[in-house]
Structure 1
Amino acid sequence: MNRRTLLLSAAALAVAGGAAQAQELSLNEVSAYLNQMQTAQGGFTQINGDGTLSTGQIYIKRPGRIRFEYNAPDNSLVMAGGGQVAVFDPKSNTPADRYPLNQTPLNIILERNVNLGQARMVTGHTSDGTKTTITAQDPAHPEYGNIQLVFTANPVELRQWIVTDDVGEQTTVILNDLVKGGSIGDAQFNIEAEMRRRGQ
């Protein structure tokens, strides 16, 4: 599994459930939905670039924090906090891979103020009568890749996303059993503490 792609796919905030209606969502509606999201947690299924599947649990705490715990046999951990992203691979003897959050499409929707209406951020905005799909990138750094967000309406809900990374590889994440709100401790996103716990 491409760990950088895995990380980039960790790029969204989500709630699941509810019946979808035939309605195209505006960029303002989607931005407001993301900005109103403070915490969320639940499950996900990831379709990797090579067609394999991964599952796990996701924890979100905006702004700037997300955690993906992958189930066996993967057992990896992807965490964003403090402006950094770390990928922990239990099968590796090396320390966690780390890089800046703002170099991934994940940063677009984890920012304190999401504004999809700004120039050159959204490169695609379509509806098939059931769902709205929005493709977004960092307007200053399109080379970092993009994230395609899929929403249903009434109520507005993010159901899945597809990330295309900086080398063109795609990863799909399908959200399930996600619940908005609730208390999630800051320790869940403390990269330094996790590294100490693992002796790194």
Structure 2
Amino acid sequence: MTPLRALRGPALALATLLAAALPALAAPVPLATLSNYINRIDSVQGSFSQLNPDGTRSEGIIKIKRPGRMRFEYTKPDNSLVLAGAGQVAIFDAKSNQPPEQYPLSQTPLNLILRSTVDWRVSRSVVGHGEENGMTTVTVQDPNRPEIGTMTMYFEPSPLRLAQWIVTDEAGGRTLVKLGPLTEADFPPSTFSISDEAARR
């Protein structure tokens, strides 16, 4: 006998009423739809806010030109810059006079959304797909480099848009990036040139 069938009279009526009042969980947006959405992102920009592992907050402007290019411009008082271009990710520290730290883009979670074609239906990089607080979540991890951490993206379903992501590094530190609406924009090639940026600084 199921627990519901074991109830009688007012208790059964109350249980039925409560069950009817519970909201149905929204089905996650299919991976094929999400892949198509990412692949349609061409040249866009928007605002972002960032919560760092140490609890500090920062904000700025994000610029994306797929494939392979992204620019995080942090606003004052930070004025730092994270730049992805030509297969590299460079971190320009506004407080340092040293050349930027550089890493291969392929060794960062950003590579999983900046590659030329995304198809999460068949990708071994997808390690999670679900629903949380009304948003669809997709967690990706490079199967060949699990040590670089994971990236969980949150998509608002209607209209479909990438609203935020959380990058978890190898030490368990979590960086949350919330995105404002992304709008189409044109950028000169120097926008994503690490060498040009280094010369300007």
TM-score range, shorter chain: 0.7 to 0.9
- Report matched runs for 1:135-146 at 5 Å: 135-146=139-150
Highest RCO, 1 vs 2 (Cα 8 Å, sep ≥ 6): 1
Identity fraction in percent = 49
Report the Cα distance in structure 1 between the residues aligned to 2:172 and 2:152, rounded to whole angstroms: 13
SS at match of 2:180: strand
Among 183, 187, 191, the residue aligned to 2:190: 187
Alpha carbons 1:120, 1:139 under 8 Å: kept:
yes
Letter in 2 for 1:156: L
- Summarize deviations over 1:77-122 as a string: whole Å, max 9, x none: 1100000111111211211111100000000000000121235311
Report the Cα distance in structure 2 between the residues aligned to 1:93 and 1:182, rounded to whole angstroms: 31
Alpha carbons 2:126, 2:141 under 8 Å: kept:
yes
- Report matched runs for 1:145-184 at 5 Å: 145-179=149-183, 181-184=184-187
Name the CA shift for 1:172/1:26 in 2 (closer, same or farther; >3 Å): same
Q: Which piece of structure 1 moves more, 54-63 or 135-144?
A: 135-144
Letter in 1 for 2:35: S
Report the Cα distance in structure 2 between the residues aligned to 1:177 and 1:30, rounded to whole angstroms: 17
Report the Cα distance in structure 2 between the residues aligned to 1:186 and 1:23, rounded to whole angstroms: 40
SS at match of 2:182: strand
SS at match of 2:36: helix
- Summarize deviations over 1:41-87 as a string: whole Å, max 9, x none: 01000000011110000000000000000011111011000001111
Instruction: Work out whether 1:79 is the aligned partner of 2:83.
Output: yes
Q: TM-score, normalised by structure 2?
A: 0.83
Letter in 1 for 2:177: V
Among 42, 47, 64, the residue aligned to 2:46: 42
Report the Cα distance in structure 1 between the residues aligned to 2:74 and 2:181, rounded to whole angstroms: 15
SS at match of 1:143: helix
Instruction: Work out whether 1:31 is the aligned partner of 2:32.
Output: no
Instruction: Work out whether 1:131 is the aligned partner of 2:135.
Output: yes
- Report matched runs for 1:55-94 at 5 Å: 55-94=59-98
Letter in 1 for 2:108: T
Letter in 2 for 1:63: P
- Summarize deviations over 1:168-188 as a string: whole Å, max 9, x none: 210000111431x23122210
After superposition, the CA RMSD in angstroms is 1.6
Please name the residue that 2:14 is paired with: none
Q: TM-score, normalised by structure 1?
A: 0.84
Name the CA shift for 1:130/1:195 in 2 (closer, same or farther; >3 Å): same
| Aligned-residue offset at 1:23 | 4.4
Letter in 2 for 1:187: S
Name the CA shift for 1:186/1:23 in 2 (closer, same or farther; >3 Å): farther
Unaligned runs of 5+ in 2: 1-25
Paired residues, number: 177
Runs of 4+ in 1 over 4 A off after TM superposition: none
Alpha carbons 1:119, 1:139 under 8 Å: kept:
no
Greater Rg, structure 1 or structure 2? 2
